[in-house]
Amino acid sequence: MEHRDISYENQKIVDVEMGKRVQKSFIEYAMSVIVARALPDVRDGLKPVHRRILYAMYQDKLTYDRPFCKSATTVGNVLGRYHPHGDASVYDAMVRLAQPFNMRYPLVEGHGNFGNVDGDGAAAYRYTEARMSRLANEMMTDIDKNVVDFDPNFDNRLEEPQVLPSRFPNLLVNGSVGIAVGIATNVPPHNLGEVIDGTIYFMKHPDATVAELMNYIKGPDFPTYGIICGSSGIYQAYQTGKGRIIVRARAEVDENKRRIVVTEIPYQVNKSMLVESIAELVKDKRVDGITEIRDESGKAGMKIVIEYRRDANGQVILNQLYKYTQLQDTCAVNMIALVNGEPKLLGLRDILRHYIAHQENVIRRRTIFELDRTRARVHILEGLKLALDDIDEVIDTIRKSSSKQD
């Protein structure tokens, strides 16, 4: 077999130290995941994929007052215009925006099977329909008035917004969960009215302490309800950006019927797995006295019934279940968001301060846009007024002209 010379003229071979190259590439990959995938922006509380879904829906006029449209349409548009990744990642993100047990205030309205609290997935995107929710319109207010910066999309054909105007503090209101490389974020959801009251108070009193803000923003408000035990974890999370909040299911012990009825469970706990874990405890004899477990949830709401023996104490059994199952769960708050493209650990005051600064910028840019548009209109009207003041001369000029150009 002959050996051919496969070298090229003027080729330059550079020796690269493998360790440094791997380190550099990994850091670049990590920063890409942190900035362009897994962490929300502090201003609108959205990750890029969610921002692109909402913007594509807005462009297609899929607003809350228009008819629903097949989810496949939106997924295809997002992929083709802004988000060159897998269709599953886009649809999963869109489904999450529509799930009332995941989002405190869903930004997408769904028609069809969008999954449930038992962990069942949504139907395929060819079966479901979706449009923006009424609140999502507030995320888009004035976006056509040059209030935010736009970047070119992946093939430079179109432009997409760097951030949405977001006329309510979405990062606090809907929270966010994300796992990047070496960094994770977990911002719990809050009550819209409380957050807006707190924001207004902070605008009027920029030196307000966390304790003062907590008169308005009392703590997280989970879509699956439940009971938060104690406020020291909340205070610590708001002060430093990190904290542990203990959430318990709402359960009533009915002594007459000898049963425990659970009507609310902690946030992001899978109901069917919770029931299974209780059954496992009974099977392994770690909890004694339970005779039957039934999931009676339906249209009326959530209802898990745990029956116990005549000689057992219902309150003791409930305390054991709090100890050994996710009837009591810890929400580990870790409020990390992107500030000017960099991940930062933020307390409550920091999040509100950045949001207010964003709104000031939006209003300033909207005012400049409207002023420029008004000035352009005034310029035309002034010209028309001059023409009207000398109408006879204008008509005379028109009559003497041989063509439109003259």
What amino acid positions are annotated as catalytic residues? 127
Measured CA to CA, the distance from residue 219 to residue 235 in angstroms comes to: 8
Measured CA to CA, the distance from residue 406 to residue 402 in angstroms comes to: 7
- Residues forming a β-bridge with 331: 245
Phi, psi for 249 (deg, rounded to 5): -70, 155
- Contact assessment for residue 137 and residue 64, using Cβ atoms and an 8 Å cutoff: yes
Measured CA to CA, the distance from residue 116 to residue 265 in angstroms comes to: 14
3-state SS assignment for residue 198: helix
- The single residue listed with the structure tokens 């920063």 is 31
- Cβ neighbors of 247 (< 8 A, separation 6 or more) are 222, 226, 227, 228, 229, 266, 267, 328, 329, 330, 331
Of 344, 332, 355, 342, the residue nearest 45 (C-alpha): 355
- Residues forming a β-bridge with 111: 129
Of 297, 323, 293, the residue nearest 308 (C-alpha): 293
3-state SS assignment for residue 361: helix
Of 250, 197, 191, 178, the residue nearest 222 (C-alpha): 191
- The single residue listed with the structure tokens 């969960």 is 177
